[in-house]
């Protein structure tokens, strides 16, 4: 399986991936990364925060963008070179997140593309936005 090359990619091409964030996802991410912040894993402590309950790690949400880029657009063989992003709203356990990417720039002489990256929850609220720089497969 091979992803799309720079010549096959067009401005406006889009892809998306959707996942419901579970308690297991949050605990596994905390264990893998070592980020055991109570905001993510301690219900009692997290209720004292501005979020009034546990939230998913921001980078767990950003990882959904990586799934779209690595598996769909451009797809397998792509190299994720960089990401500018902003977390715009919290993701709660049980939220269904849609990660979407769209090609916004082609830099053919360097074999690079830029894609807008957004994540929205089941209510259409944007929870992440940014721009990714990718080297598509040759």
pLDDT tens track for 42-60: 999 999 999 999 999 999 9
What pLDDT shows up at residue 1? 80
Q: Is the pLDDT of residue 35 over 90?
A: yes
**pLDDT, tens digit (0-9, with 9 covering 90-100), for 65-111:** 999 999 999 999 999 999 999 999 999 999 999 999 999 999 999 99
Return d(Cα 103, Cα 1) in angstroms, integer. 21
**pLDDT, tens digit (0-9, with 9 covering 90-100), for 88-100:** 999 999 999 999 9
Q: What's the token pair of residue 28?
A: 């596994």
The CATH T-level fold of domain 14-21+55-135 is Thiol Ester Dehydrase; Chain A (3.10.129)
The model carries a pTM of 0.93
β-sheet bridge partners, residue 107:
112
For 82-109, give one letter per residue: b (16+ CB within 10 A) or e: ebebebebbbbbebebbbbbbbeebeee
Domain ranges of the chain: 14-21+55-135
- From the centroid of its chain, how far is CA 88? 13
């Amino acid at each position: 399986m091979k992803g799309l090359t720079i010549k096959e990619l067009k401005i406006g091409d889009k892809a998306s991936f959707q996942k419901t964030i579970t308690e297991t996802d949050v605990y596994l991410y905390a264990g893998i990364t070592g980020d055991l912040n109570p905001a993510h894993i301690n219900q009692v402590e997290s209720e004292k925060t501005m979020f009034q309950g546990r939230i998913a790690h921001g980078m767990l949400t950003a990882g959904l963008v990586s799934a779209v880029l690595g598996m769909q657009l451009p797809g397998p063989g792509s190299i994720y070179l960089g990401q500018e992003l902003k977390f715009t709203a919290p993701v709660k356990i049980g939220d269904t997140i849609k990660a979407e990417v769209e090609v916004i720039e082609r830099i053919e002489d360097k074999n690079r593309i830029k894609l807008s990256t957004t994540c929205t929850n089941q209510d259409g609220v944007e929870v992440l936005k940014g721009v990714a720089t990718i080297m598509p497969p040759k």
